[in-house]
Structure formats: C-alpha cells, structure tokens
C-alpha cells in the first residue's frame, strides 16, 4: 500500500483597498527607489516527482477493509503533463479533502477527480466529484522538508451516508491521547500490495507510531511528522500517498497523519505528516476546525474570476488589496491592471508572503502614467497588491483576474 513521495502511476465582486499609511517597507539600494519592498521571488521551489516502477514485491500484507469501515477514505485520480496518478485523501467535511502536497503539487484543479464512498474501485460504488481548487501549503518544497499537506475543494458537496463520512481533525486533547509512542494507528489505501500491483480493494494496516521523531528508521525525519514503524512486514506503499493515518476516540475517527514518504521497497518505517501541527492553516484555508465545526475561512480561498478594488490616495501613500493579510491562491496566472485619476503617477506591485515577510514578485512602474499592468505565473501562496501613489492624488482601481 505508499511512498518515496508516493503517488502511483495509473493504468467575484468589488473590495476596498486598505490604507496602511505612507511609510514604505525598506528597499535595498540596488532596487528602484520607488519599490515598496524587497525585490525578488521568495516563493517555494517546485517539487518534482518521478514515479518509481521498480518497487519490490515484498510489501504491505494488509487486510481488505470492510465496506463502510473507513468511510472517510477518498480516492484521488490526478492527471498532469507527466501522466495520470493515484493518491489517497481524507474527507474532512462535505466539500474538503485533506491530502499530501506532493500528490497535487504542479497539478491543476481541472485534472483532479475525487471518488468517495467506494471500497472496490472496479465497482460502481460511491460518487466521483471534480475538484474546484487545490491548496498546497505555501512552505512545501519536498516531502523530506516537512509541510507535505494540501487541501482540495470539491465542485459539489458530498452526501454523507453509512459509507461516506467526514473524519475529525485532532485537537490538542485528542492528540495527547492518540499520538503517543507505542500506540497504534491505521493507514488505508489502494496502493501497491505485496504482489507489486495496486489494489482494487481498499486495504488497511495497523502500525505502531512514534510522534515527532528526529529519526524514522534511522533516517532523518522533518519536524511535525509521525513515524509509522515497520511491523510484521506491514507498511503503506505507492499509491497510498495523501491517505489517512487514523484512529478512533470516543466513537469518532481522527486523522492523525497523512501518508508522505518512506523506503521505496515499502519494507521499513514510513513518515506521515502530523495533522495537528497544521490546524491553523487548515482552518485558514477551509474553515474546518478540530472540533468538526466549520467557520468562515480567513482569508477566504479564491476562485477564478475577476475582482475590482478601488481606493482614494494622497501622494506618497501606499495601500493594499484586498488588505494587509492578502489572499490565499492555489496557483495559476494572476493578472492585474491599475488605472487612476488623470495626471497622477501611481505604481502597481504584486507581493507574496514568506514566513512573516512580504516580497515583491512582480511590479509595474511606468513613469508619468497611472496605467500599469502585471501578469504573473503564481505558485500557491498568499498574495496581495500594493499601490504606490508616487505622484499626485486621486482614485485608483485595480482589476484583478485569476
């Protein structure tokens, strides 16, 4: 059933600009003096995945899951320019799927289909729903560097029944009970089995776990991971990536980890992303909280379309759209056009957040005009527009298309 970054190759409205005073962030001397922040793209590197066709035939030895025993399990079909891949995922509410970043990094939402409520893939069980948006953690650079977590927003809601239900996110209290060295958790998926082929039936194994390991099976493990210990020849494997490492508590299932990576031969300790460490990010993007309730995401995930921002400026003032916190974007082309009162000279910048800092990733600074245009190929992350009233005062409008 997982790993080595373990996918398996398959057979808009208006918003006000927020004024933030007249003081610009520090600008290095090497930059144009009118730029509002450090120039340069601080975005994440793009992870590259190559499927491994040489998996050993000594893998998993799991058992077939009973229909409805893992109602939170999702099957992902992912089409990219490199081919078609499969991964697993967890249903965390009726419109959101939790998975691994390496499963959808570089993919587009139009190439991702999610099947829920199914145990046997060759059957007509369950329902297939298209993805409408993908959200890779903005700090993800590769499986061995942590942050291997992503969210998929579905184009339609899931209808829950006895075979299809959401799994809960572990609060600190639940985490302290379930994610403990020596306890067991269940990983499930349709990945490669001991026969060297992917499974038509959903399978599962129960593994002893170690939370927050510095090493997993003798190898370095990144922060905020869980080590799934190799046990009785059982392991997760290729195709299980993104799937749940789960356990029950007081009658509810909780997703403790996400299948991330491990030995190519699937005979060793595996590394799982520790979900509890990313509760704030999950809530920010999807609104789903540890107690199973849903809040309004902050910032609300964006969908393709056109948004218009307007604001009034005095000379020397900077303003941000849609505000200082920006918005989360799953990736793609961002276009922005700035127009302002005749006779003014306003400039337009697109910034991306890295850690607690913002960096310019694109800018338009034409002298003597307030017509500026930017088109930027964006990786996933948090972005905002900045308008600099370089000369003159008046009204400015940004027309944004994603």
**Do β-strands 127-136 and 150-154 pair in parallel, antiparallel, or remain unpaired?**
antiparallel
Closest CA to 51 of 88, 2, 107, 90: 2
Buried b (16+ CB within 10 A) or exposed e, 195-217: eebbbebbbbbbbebbbebeebb
**Which residues lie below 8 Å from residue 250, measured CB to CB, with a gap of 6+?**
none
Determine contact, residues 328/381, Cβ cutoff 8 Å.
Answer: yes
Exposed/middle/buried for residue 342 (C-beta within 10 Å: 0-12, 13-18, 19+): exposed
Closest CA to 349 of 332, 333, 368, 366: 366
Choice among 241, 286, 330, 370 that is catalytic: 241
Choice among 90, 105, 132, 148 that is catalytic: 148
Closest CA to 302 of 279, 269, 326: 326
* Dihedral (CA of 67, 55, 85, 269) sign: positive
Can you count the helices (H) and strands (E) in the chain? 3, 27
Closest CA to 308 of 329, 332, 339: 339
Nearest-angstrom CA–CA distance, 271 and 55: 18
DSSP state string for 320-362: EES-TT-EEE-SEEEEEEEEE-TT-EEEEEEEEEETTEEEEEE
Q: What is the three-class DSSP state of 178?
A: helix
Write out the H or E segment, with its range, that includes residue 284: helix 279-286
Q: What is the DSSP letter of 96?
A: E
Bridge partners of residue 15, in order along the sequence: 309
Choice among 102, 105, 179, 260 that is catalytic: 102
Both tokens of residue 214?
């510095």
Q: How many Cβ atoms from other residues are within 10 Å of residue 176's Cβ?
A: 12
Determine contact, residues 75/88, Cβ cutoff 8 Å.
Answer: yes
Active-site residue flag, 102: yes
Active-site residue flag, 367: no
Active-site residue flag, 145: no
Catalytic residues: 102, 148, 241
């Amino acid at each position: 059933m997982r790993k080595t970054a373990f996918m398996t190759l398959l057979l808009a409205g208006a918003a006000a600009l927020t004024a933030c005073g007249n003081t610009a962030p520090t600008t290095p001397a090497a930059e144009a003096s009118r730029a509002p922040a450090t120039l340069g793209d601080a975005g994440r590197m793009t992870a590259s995945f190559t499927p491994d066709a040489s998996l050993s035939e000594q893998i998993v030895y799991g058992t077939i899951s009973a229909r409805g025993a893992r109602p939170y399990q999702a099957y992902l079909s992912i089409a990219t320019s490199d081919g078609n891949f499969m991964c697993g995922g967890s249903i965390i509410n009726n419109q959101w799927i939790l998975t691994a970043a390496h499963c959808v990094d570089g993919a587009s939402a139009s190439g991702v289909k999610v099947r829920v409520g199914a145990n046997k893939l060759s059957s007509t069980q369950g329902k297939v729903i298209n993805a409408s948006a993908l959200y890779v953690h903005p700090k993800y650079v590769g499986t061995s560097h942590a942050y291997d977590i992503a969210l998929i927003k579905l184009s339609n809601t899931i209808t829950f029944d006895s075979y299809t239900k959401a799994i809960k996110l572990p609060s600190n209290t639940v985490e302290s009970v379930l994610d403990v060295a020596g306890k067991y958790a269940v990983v499930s998926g349709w990945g490669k089995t001991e026969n060297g082929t992917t499974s038509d039936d959903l399978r599962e194994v129960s593994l002893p776990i170690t939370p927050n390991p510095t090493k997993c099976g003798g190898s370095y493990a990144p922060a905020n991971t869980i080590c799934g210990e190799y046990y009785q020849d059982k392991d997760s494997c290729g195709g299980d990536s993104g799937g749940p490492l789960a356990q029950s508590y007081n009658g509810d299932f909780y997703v403790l980890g996400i299948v991330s990576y491990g030995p190519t031969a699937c005979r060793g300790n595996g590394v799982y992303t520790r979900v509890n460490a990313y509760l704030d990010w999950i809530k920010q993007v999807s609104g789903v909280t540890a107690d199973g309730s849903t809040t309004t995401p902050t910032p609300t995930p964006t969908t393709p379309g056109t948004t218009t921002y307007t604001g009034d400026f005095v000379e020397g003032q900077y303003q941000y759209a849609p505000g200082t916190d920006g918005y989360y974007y799953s990736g793609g082309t961002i276009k922005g056009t700035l127009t302002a009162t005749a006779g003014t000279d306003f400039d337009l910048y697109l910034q991306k957040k890295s850690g607690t800092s913002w960096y310019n990733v694109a800018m338009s600074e034409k002298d003597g005009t307030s017509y500026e245009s930017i088109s930027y190929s964006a990786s996933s992350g948090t972005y905002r527009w900045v308008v600099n009233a370089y000369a003159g005062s008046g009204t400015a409008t940004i027309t944004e298309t994603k």
